[in-house]
Structure 1
């Protein structure tokens, strides 16, 4: 993690959060309400036991699909963000995919092909996406079953947020493009051009979107998507000053996976 490529931009080793602010960035949840609740409980215990001056909990998107309780996850996040603005939920491509499907049902869509059935089932809808007609029927039933506030929440999620030397989004950024001019679609969809770039960016990018068996900790980015829906491990990055720490939650409890010296 010590190699430095490029003369501009910030390296993870040097990157710092704002003074007095502790940040937790939680990776892709994908319907794992059990792990999300446990992670929040662990974070709250840390905050109560060792209070920072202030804190933020940033969720980097993909709250639905594949896992067993997408509805419960959305309920949880609506309550949290509504009660305290220090809880932040960013948009993921799967979250946007559900909103798109409700507006334009398509059996070949992201939602229909990648976990939409599990999401619909969490709302009490047994969906069939095997034809255009059945996809339209499923969308109509899902629109009727979903609370209006759930659709509005998913449709209005911000695409990014920044604190100190860190930029948080779901998928990543387009290298070489200023952060202020990033394409909103890149922020929830990009992969290769971002993941393969060795260049340092204006800020270290903290993201999910691309599942990895272990957190990816690189000079220019940190990937906190450890495929919670299939691995049973939800990952978060904690930032306090220049100290960075990976914490993980599984059915067996919390563990620290990595901490800076």
Structure 2
């Protein structure tokens, strides 16, 4: 049973959101967490459920390709809606594989891209110009089409955060995928509570203006899901 505590915002009645933090190629953790989510939906039925993945599906872990394939084929979770957001690691991968920036391939490799290539059966010695042809087109299209943000009631779901002092409708893709400071130390009222990953901590962070759920699954920590319903929240971990 999930231990519920007070949330910093209130969802409409009948709405529940499950948001999953940074996965980084940890397929076994993701499968286990999806099983817990499915069990919770079965044990505590609600009118409408949304499952949000906050990005960083690839790099550093051993099963990036398998995580992407798992998400494409829809996890066996009886949610009513699925939302997959883009993280900075998907952004790096796309820039390296199908982009034109000269330094993008080397930047991606040193940030976990070599592990991702291996999961697609691509040796690090294969020239970058050949990577796209060796990755299934369906996988590349999935990564290309990922959303940058999603607003659900009083919550804004993004990978990294937002820039304080900038209106929500003027936030940049770069900030929402990459920002750390000054977002992490800000106590600003954004008009929404930002639910994000990107910056690993041992435990989730719940503040008046943000909820952080990257708990470092690929670093030996847990893979964390925050469960939001009405004015309460709880956590599932694997």
In the TM superposition, 1:184-223 aligns within 5 A as: 184-223=173-212
TM-score by length of 2: 0.91
Alignment match, 1:252: none
Deviation, 1:139, is 2.1
Tell me, in whole angstroms, the C-alpha distance in 1 between the residues paired with 2:65 and 2:197: 20
Task: Indicate the structure (1 or 2) with the bigger Cα radius of gyration.
Answer: 1
Alignment of 1:106-145 (within 5 A): 106=103, 109-128=106-125, 137-145=126-134
Structure 1 runs (4+) greater than 4 angstroms displaced: none
Runs of 5+ unmatched residues, structure 2: 1-5
Q: Give yes or no for the alignment of 1:46 onto 2:40.
A: yes
Spell out, residue by residue over 1:190-236, the C-alpha distance to the aligned partner (whole angstroms, 9 max, x if none).
Answer: 11110111112110000001111111111211110011111141011
Q: Is the 8 A contact 1:212 1:226 kept in 2?
A: yes
TM-score normalised by the chain length of structure 1: 0.83
Structure 1: tracts of 5 or more residues without a match: 1-11, 129-136, 250-261
| In 1: Cα distance, 2:80 partner to 2:37 partner | 16
Aligned position for 2:27: 33
1:69 equivalenced with 2:102 (yes/no):
no
| 1:65 and 1:118 in contact (8 A); partners too | yes
Q: Alpha carbon RMSD of aligned pairs, Å?
A: 1.8
Q: 1:24·1:57 contact (CA, 8 Å) conserved in 2?
A: yes
For 2:53, the equivalent position in structure 1 comes to 59
CA deviation after TM superposition for structure 1 residue 14, in Å: 4.5
1:181 pairs, out of 149, 153, 170, with 170
Match of 2:83 among 77, 82, 88: 88
Whether contact under 8 Å (2:49, 2:80) holds in the other structure is no
Aligned to 1:195, the other structure's residue is in SS state coil
Change (3 A) 1:110 1:21: farther
Query: Contact (CA 8 Å) 1:23, 1:56: kept in 2 or not?
Result: yes
Secondary structure in 2 matching 1:192: coil
